[in-house]
Amino acid sequence: MTGFLLVLIHALMSFVLFSPGTYGKFFETDGTLTLLGGLSMLGGVLAFVVLWGYNTSFQTFLREDKAFIQFITSRTFLLWAMLLGASHVFFMGYEGWLSPAGWHGGILPVSLVAFAFLAIVYIVNLLGRK
Ligand code: HEM
């Protein structure tokens, strides 16, 4: 629930700010999304919807459905869901990750920090969760 609320704030703020003026790297000169911008936003929106559905399931009649709850809390489902969030930050940032000269103030890009955390959590779930 905490994760969902944080992501909700992030998504609402992004919707307000999302324009070529603020996020030029996601847009072509004609105002349409670049391929990487589009893939990144698709991953973000799908991750958001899955997280929303995941949270909602525990507050509806679905929580009585043992098979469904077992499925959405399974390793397979969570690993697929995590890929959506990973694709969101990967497509948005990977071009810049390999050129430290371009990092703002020489600081690690947030998208890279997020991707690194996600990769660690992904591996822990892959190896550790039954
Ligand atoms: C409706 C859904 C979403 C939209 C519209 C959206 C939009 C954006 C935008 C525009 C950025 C670029 C920010 C920047 O470069 O300063 C961004 C970055 C980011 N998003 Fe999302 N996002 C969504 C969902 C998510 C979800 C579900 C997660 C987590 C699982 C997430 C995690 C992140 C992270 C970690 C960054 C990197 C921050 C950065 O580089 O500054 N987003 N998102």
Distance from the alpha carbon of residue 11 to the mean position of ligand 1, in angstroms: 7
Q: What is the pTM of this model?
A: 0.90
Specify the DSSP element, H or E, that contains 129. Answer: none
What pLDDT score was predicted for residue 1?
86
Domain range for 60: 2-128
Choice from 6, 8, 14 to test ligand 1 binding pocket (greatest atom count within 8 A of CB)? 14
Q: Please report how many Cα atoms fall inside a 13 Å half-sphere around the Cα of residue 119, on the Cβ side.
A: 8
pLDDT, averaged in runs of 10, over the chain (130 residues)? 93 95 94 96 97 92 93 93 97 93 93 96 87
Distance from the alpha carbon of residue 88 to the mean position of ligand 1, in angstroms: 7
> Among candidates 102, 95, 84, which has minimal Cα distance to 36?
95
What pLDDT score was predicted for residue 128?
84
Query: What's the number of domains the chain is made of?
Result: 1
Can you say whether residue 52 is alpha, beta or left, with left for phi > 0 and alpha for psi between -120 and 50 degrees?
Answer: alpha
What pLDDT score was predicted for residue 13?
96
Distance from the alpha carbon of residue 122 to the mean position of ligand 1, in angstroms: 18
What pLDDT score was predicted for residue 118?
96
Handedness of CA 128, 90, 85, 43 (dihedral sign): negative
